[in-house]
Amino acid sequence: MKRIGDYQIETLEWRQPKGLDHYYELRARQELLARLTFRSLLGTLATAETSEGSWTFKRVGFLNPRVTVREAGQEANLAVYQPKFWGDGVLTFQDGRALTWKPVNFWRTDWSFFNAQEDAVLEFISGLQEEKLRDVFKTQYTLIRHGAGPDPDILPILATLGLYLLILHQQDAAAAMAGTSAAT
């Protein structure tokens, strides 16, 4: 795998190779930069792998849900994402750095991490630049770095965590829709 931080292209793509698999690849053209793999179809534990490192993401808590970010195999949190009611929220790293995660369009399909100055640093746009018919039912996003982008040491975490949060958002929306359908 190539390093995300060393790649100069502004636009990268998250692809789901097989529609039913809970496995995703971040690519720059044909170069593999990262993987995100969920342990099970129904669980929230996922592992992100890049050449810069490997992390686990897990949603924990019921009344006060949050997502923990840990170095793979470690118990200490590197960062914690605290969602708000509508899915947006704040990602806080142990060193005090904080980024806001919020939608950038009305339909809430495109999301971005924002720095303390409210500048978008990393954006996730639903779909790919060149989609094919076979991609219609897959989870795929175009990732765009704005300006200088996020700090290089957290770029790989943000690039993988953003997709993780989007997948959780999709799962929550599907569960709410199923609950509504069952109630009627």
Query: Is there a domain that residue 88 lies in?
Result: yes
Residue 182 located in a structural domain:
no
Which pLDDT belongs to residue 108? 92
- pTM of the predicted protein model: 0.92
pLDDT of residue 149: 83
pLDDT in tens, the chain (184 residues): 888 877 766 789 999 998 888 999 999 988 999 999 999 888 899 999 999 999 999 999 988 999 999 999 999 999 999 999 877 999 999 999 999 999 999 999 999 999 999 999 999 999 887 766 666 678 899 999 988 788 999 999 999 999 999 999 888 777 776 776 666 6
- Give the pLDDT confidence score for residue 181 in this predicted structure: 63
CATH number at residue 90: 2.40.160.200
Residue 1 domain-assigned (yes or no): no
Give the largest Cα separation in the chain, rounded: 52
CA distances to 1, 15, 25, 138, 175 from 30, rounded to whole Å, are: 11, 11, 11, 18, 34
DSSP string, the chain: ---TTT---SEEEEE-SSTTSSEEEEEETTEEEEEEEESSSS---EEEEETTEEEEEEEE-SSS-EEEEEETT--SEEEEEEE-TTS-EEEEETTS-EEEEEESSTTS--EEEE-TTS-EEEEEEES-SS--GGGTTS--EEEEE-TT-S-TTTHHHHHHHHHHHHHHHHHHHHHHHHHHHHH-
Q: What is the pLDDT of residue 8?
A: 65
6 in a structural domain: no
Residue 172 confidence (pLDDT):
75
Give CA–CA dist 19/71, Å, rounded: 28
Residue 37 counted as domain residue? yes
Question: Does some domain include residue 184?
Answer: no
Q: Is residue 23 part of a domain?
A: yes
Domain presence at residue 39: yes
Owning domain of residue 60: 11-177
Q: How many structural domains is the chain composed of?
A: 1
